[in-house]
Amino acid sequence: MADLLPEVLKHLEALVSFDTRNPPRDIGTGGIFDYLRTQLPDFRITVTDHGAGAVSMLAVRGAPKRVFNVHLDTVPSSPAWSADPHTLRVTADRAIALGACDIKGAAAGLVAAARRTTGDVAFLFSTDEEANDARCIAAFLASDHGFEEAIVAEPTMGQAVLAHRGISSVLMKFRGEAGHASGAQARDTSALHAAIRWGSQAMDFVQAQDHLRFGGLTGLRFNIGRVEGGIKANMIAPRAELRFGFRPLPSQSLETLHELFRSFAPAGMLASYEETFSGPSLPSGDVARAEERRLAARDLADELGMPIGNAVDFWTEASLFSQAGMTALVFGPGDIAQAHTADEWVSLDQLATVSATYQRLMEAS
């Protein structure tokens, strides 16, 4: 098999040159999609604008039963970048650019492999993954798509990942009673005190879950990301907001965890509890169904000759395909540790190896 890497790097150079940062979600149906159209001339292509910068492109050649999914949006670039994040830099061992790892490197590999082959294959490109607003995938799954399997090309270091955590983000609002901080009631009527007490109880609960295990994952991941409220030190806070997120094991119920977290609020002081984003675990379903789907994904990886890796802590949209009843796994070049970093990079070895695997799968279809 001839070396694909030069072609992959050519496509990656083009893909990273398009500004698809999310936010600001300023992504339309042209630009990067025009480029993909020209590179996939033998595909039937449907581009759909779902609003708010969410654009999907379904490209199909032949009659495949498997779809490759790859998102084209990136996180914003930080001031810590040492050079233009939209200009590809290639060193002896890595390709550096915004999205090179997460996950335009995989997109470049898929395009390069498609241009070398003629077999049946389908790609679903999307631009809303980094927004935690999966309009593209939801619309695809609600359609009469006819696919049975999905390979989501997030960075897994070239190994098939069969399981990962779910994810949930929550906005909580606490109510208090405004007053002078010198009063004895300040301890019990401050909305900020209620938020802090909630956080202490939540942290104790999370620590008590450390013994739980599923597929190599342990415990419950949890983070309080923001607390705000109050006016000044000598005034009792009448209002407070707290944002937190948690990532359960596939064997844990999101609904049960929400009930528990909600119950930790001091009596009468919880104004509202709103889940702002939710994603199921991979595989999805109850414990028995999750294990059944994991075994199906393992069989698919074995059939495709993919090395199988460990379960991971980060979330991917593979879980949405699994929830819809498809056999889904995650497979792509790069290390998640490089995603969302300044001078983000993907190793050339992994780009070459994974792209060759993509080509092999397309030739075998």
Dump pLDDT digits (tens) for 180-238: 999 999 999 999 999 999 999 999 999 999 999 887 899 999 999 999 999 999 999 99
Is 129 known to be catalytic? Answer: yes
Please give the share of the chain, as a percent, with pLDDT higher than 70. Answer: 99
Other CB atoms within 10 A of residue 44 CB: 11
Dump pLDDT digits (tens) for 291-326: 889 899 999 999 999 999 999 999 999 999 999 999
Helix or strand holding residue 12 (H, E): helix 5-17
Section 37-65 average pLDDT = 97
Q: Which residue has the tokens 């000598």?
A: 234
**Mean pLDDT score of the chain:** 95
Dump pLDDT digits (tens) for 337-360: 999 999 999 999 999 999 999 999
3-state secondary structure string, 280-299? CCECCCCHHHHHHHHHHHHH
- 251-255 long-range CB contacts below 8 Å, 24 or more apart? 251/212, 251/214, 251/287, 251/290, 252/166, 252/212, 252/220, 252/281, 254/166, 254/168, 254/278, 254/280
Sign of CA dihedral 302, 304, 310, 313: negative
Please give the share of the chain, as a percent, with pLDDT higher than 90. Answer: 91
Residue 30 neighbours by CB under 8 Å, 6+ apart: none
CA angle 225, 217, 76 (to 5 degrees): 40
Buried b / exposed e along 288-304 (16+ C-beta atoms within 10 A): eebbebbebbbebbeeb
pLDDT, residue 143, reads 97
* Phi, psi for residue 161 in degrees, rounded to 5: -100, 125
Q: What is the pTM of this model?
A: 0.88
Dump pLDDT digits (tens) for 61-102: 999 999 999 999 999 999 999 999 999 999 999 999 999 999
Q: Say yes or no to pLDDT of 282 above 80.
A: yes
Give the pLDDT band of residue 285 (cuts 50, 70, 90).
confident
Among residues 7, 129, 149, 317, the one annotated as catalytic is: 129
Give the pLDDT band of residue 1 (cuts 50, 70, 90).
very low
Q: Say yes or no to pLDDT of 286 above 80.
A: no
pLDDT, residue 132, reads 80
